[in-house]
Structure 1
Amino acid sequence: MKKLWKLVEKVMPGYALVPLIFCFTYNCLVYEGAMMITKNWTHYDLTMGVDRAVPFVPWWIYIYFICYAFWAANYVLVARVSDREQFFRFVTAELMSKTVCLIFFLVLPTTNVRPAVTGTDFASDLMRMLYTIDAPANLFPSIHCLVSWFCWIGIRGNKRVPAAYRIFSLVFALAVCASTQFTKQHYIVDVAGGLLLAEGAWWLAARVQLRVWVQQFFTRMNNRLKYAGLE
């Protein structure tokens, strides 16, 4: 375990590992938990006219799936280049935003009508797989857009990250937002909700006592790991 911890510290500060694992776990609990709870509830379709005008383009599924690697890379990068205070601001914003997502998923369960996938190419096969494993629910706000935007927020003002990569992160985050539209996984209102929530949570995390409490909580957890000989 100590060897594993030393390996982690070559990539990012050791204190960041537990918070990042916690964020991932909380995200899964929010998404899957809300899906289970609201499975038989009435869901609302927030589709607007502009959404119907956006074509269904299966090849955007590649961006939609690649973004998972983008999330992992940039969350680790945020931990690597941020000072401790900024990192825990990021973690606090992440946890606050997912809590707001949970509230919306429960109070306003959403759904949409997906198009028929008739293509025989690989992208169409991936679309059919996605539609099979991911029910059309938990749409507002879009977690795909929310997390992708956090990937940019966390590094956009950090000069330790090359400007070219910061620009790439912005462009790719926007591409992910576009992919949610062209794959018909989300609609415009879901994208707007995700981006506004990310910006709002980031702004608020710097101004509330919760950030201090979050940092203290994870500091205690890391200290316990040290005492247990796991670090």
Structure 2
Amino acid sequence: MKTEYFKIIKKIKNVDIKSIDLVWFLLFPILNINYIVAANIVESGKNIELGFDRLIPFESIFIIPYIYWYIFITIGLIYILYKSRSEYIKVFIAITIGMSCCYVIYYIFPTQIIRPVVDKSNILNKLVNIIYLKDKPFNCFPSIHVLNTYFIMRYTKFEYNKKYFYYTQTVGVLIILSTVFIKQHFVLDIIASIILCEEIIFLINKIKSESLNKILDLPLRIKNRFDKNNEITY
């Protein structure tokens, strides 16, 4: 009976800790300030289109996986957290470093894509035009869409769940392809993102687990200190 009680308590504590781990999601709006700034300080950028890019047709159907990216990343991160806290902090460190590298490049090497004129004859085309309106055609290299997608694909392990792994890899590939089929990115943007991801993963694998645990437990330590300072003494 005692053993079962302690198991239940341990599970509750693990749920509480993992809930606190979600605080790392706050990094996204902070990092994305740079995207807004970088897009608004440039008036033009370098065109890095290849001949192969011109062979890729515009396909508005790919707006579906492109928009689904937001859900894909959120679900992916929560799933990785559910399966492994250590992998979760690795992917968050990877995303933070990767996005920071992208923003530095956007500031010093702005790029620009010339988008096609898309009619509003159907709902998919209308969605593409909304994306075009909201997202300026600057700062494509490397692609953050590809970067974060690739990290989720790489940190989702086959041994966690076979079906979910196949879902991640399949949808991830569709999202990556969507960036060129709706003319949001060039082929070089995809290549640069994947190379950057692999380099970052290589570096993160060199970090000792003790150091990763210290970073991972930072929000919990802050919470515990805050709770301690706010204890009421009778």
Separation (CA, whole Å) in 2 of partners of 1:212 and 1:95: 19
Separation (CA, whole Å) in 1 of partners of 2:17 and 2:173: 26
- Listed one character per residue, the Cα deviations across residues 36-82 of structure 1 (whole Å, up to 9, x for unaligned) are 3x333x41010111101111111211111012111100011111111
Separation (CA, whole Å) in 1 of partners of 2:176 and 2:104: 22
Q: Name the counterpart of 2:63.
A: 61
Instruction: Flag the 1:226–1:107 CA change in 2: closer, same or farther, 3 A.
Output: same
Whether the aligned pair in 1 keeps the contact of 2:62 and 2:178 (CA below 8 Å) is yes
Q: Name the counterpart of 2:25.
A: 20
Secondary structure of 1:207's aligned partner: coil
Q: Name the counterpart of 2:198.
A: 199
Aligned pairs, number: 218
Q: Name the counterpart of 1:219.
A: 217
Whether the aligned pair in 1 keeps the contact of 2:89 and 2:216 (CA below 8 Å) is no
- Listed one character per residue, the Cα deviations across residues 169-228 of structure 1 (whole Å, up to 9, x for unaligned) are 11111101111111000010001111221222112111147x865653453333222332
Give the drift of 1:27.
3.5
Q: Name the counterpart of 2:48.
A: 46
Whether the aligned pair in 1 keeps the contact of 2:31 and 2:100 (CA below 8 Å) is no
Whether the aligned pair in 2 keeps the contact of 1:93 and 1:204 (CA below 8 Å) is no
1:227 is matched by which residue type in structure 2?
R
Whether the aligned pair in 1 keeps the contact of 2:144 and 2:193 (CA below 8 Å) is yes
1:103 is matched by which residue type in structure 2?
V
Secondary structure of 1:114's aligned partner: coil
Whether the aligned pair in 2 keeps the contact of 1:71 and 1:147 (CA below 8 Å) is yes
Separation (CA, whole Å) in 2 of partners of 1:29 and 1:208: 28
Q: Name the counterpart of 2:146.
A: 145
Give the drift of 1:86.
2.7
- Listed one character per residue, the Cα deviations across residues 83-116 of structure 1 (whole Å, up to 9, x for unaligned) are x433322222111111211111111101110000
Q: Name the counterpart of 1:131.
A: 132
Whether the aligned pair in 2 keeps the contact of 1:90 and 1:205 (CA below 8 Å) is no
1:174 is matched by which residue type in structure 2?
V
Instruction: Flag the 1:113–1:85 CA change in 2: closer, same or farther, 3 A.
Output: same
Instruction: Flag the 1:142–1:87 CA change in 2: closer, same or farther, 3 A.
Output: same
Separation (CA, whole Å) in 2 of partners of 1:34 and 1:216: 32
- Listed one character per residue, the Cα deviations across residues 130-175 of structure 1 (whole Å, up to 9, x for unaligned) are 1111000120000111111111111135x22x11210111111110
- Percent of aligned positions that are identical: 21
Q: Name the counterpart of 1:109.
A: 110
Query: Structure 1 unaligned runs (5+)?
Result: 1-6
Secondary structure of 1:89's aligned partner: helix
1:228 is matched by which residue type in structure 2?
F
Give the drift of 1:12.
7.6
Q: Which structure has the larger Rg? A: 2
Q: Name the counterpart of 1:156.
A: 157
1:74 is matched by which residue type in structure 2?
G
Whether the aligned pair in 2 keeps the contact of 1:71 and 1:148 (CA below 8 Å) is yes
Query: Structure 2 unaligned runs (5+)?
Result: 1-11
Separation (CA, whole Å) in 2 of partners of 1:170 and 1:202: 17
Instruction: Flag the 1:85–1:214 CA change in 2: closer, same or farther, 3 A.
Output: closer
